Amino acid sequence: MKEFAVLKDYIDKIDTLTAKVTNNQIPIFFDKISLSVSFGSSEAGFLRLVSFLYVLIYEGNGKVNFDFVAEKFEHYGYQAATPQEFKIVCHCLRTVLQHNLNPDGDKDSKKMNLYNEWMMSTTGKEDGLTESDWILCVARLLDDANKILKSIHHIISCINSESEFRDLILRDWVSKFSAYYPIFRYHEIAADVLKNFGLATLDHQKICNKYYKSWISELQSHSNFDFSSIAKRQVERDILVEFERNFLCPLDGDDIIKVFQVAPGLRVKGLLIEAHKSYKSNPCDREELISRMRAHLQK
């Protein structure tokens, strides 16, 4: 679709201009997105477009850069609320179309109301949309997105042309970008830590989702720090806590009795303690642990 190609072209132009203006201190404005979008079916294409735009402006570099430039809209003659309103619409569309909502909940009902308002103003109806209706939805969302991206590109050009405040604005922008630590940076560190610990059975993204807010809050107490070093220590500490909390040996007392044909008694307790020690020192699957225990019994 031509309009989507225009959107991708704006993204490339904004990335290139950002790198040039900031002297590569901010190498790209938006993260590269692997999500493909096609419009063979307008409904499916709209869903993919919503996901694409959400990732573009809510995740990675796009989150901090979009918000920074959005703050400059009014200064350069644009309506100040426009970019934030667009963000809210993208978030709302994604939530309603891709999640199960509670219509009785206050937040969910507000999202449903905004979704219905957007659909009504776009298609003249709230539900029962046809293929032609979805075409209208795609067209409006792409048009709104392209207007926003065109404005962003123009504002970055204006910043670059500033005669008096250019260096001050860029210094502020680079500072905010450098102080932003999106969760995906913790994902990479957590995956490495789990690999080093031999804890591949734990989900590194789930751990990051659980601790991310506390990690970011903790970073506020540090100054002039190396992020990778501090983050690694944070992750290591909390993964150890997580492992202790969720430690669950794949063998139980019944397994000791049945698999190794041990009569109920103190020996079952002793062998189960040994199984726990072996698993805790080097986590493995059930069959591997049984093999280790057979080797232990043959000593």
Question: Cα torsion for 26, 29, 35, 38, to the nearest 10°?
Answer: -150
Query: Is-contact 134 43, C-beta < 8 A?
Result: yes
**Tokens 């123009």 correspond to what residue?**
154
Count of residues making up the chain:
299
- Predicted structure pTM score: 0.66
pLDDT tens, position by position, for the chain (299 residues)?
A: 899 999 999 999 999 999 999 999 898 899 888 888 999 999 999 999 999 999 999 987 898 999 999 999 998 888 877 899 999 999 999 999 988 877 777 778 888 999 999 999 999 998 899 999 999 999 999 999 999 999 999 999 999 998 889 999 999 999 888 778 878 789 989 999 988 887 777 789 889 999 998 998 888 777 777 888 899 999 999 988 887 777 788 899 999 999 999 999 999 999 999 999 898 888 888 899 999 999 999 87
Rounded-to-integer distance, Cα 93 and Cα 85, Å: 12
Contacts of 86 (CB under 8 A, 6+ apart): 57, 144, 145, 148
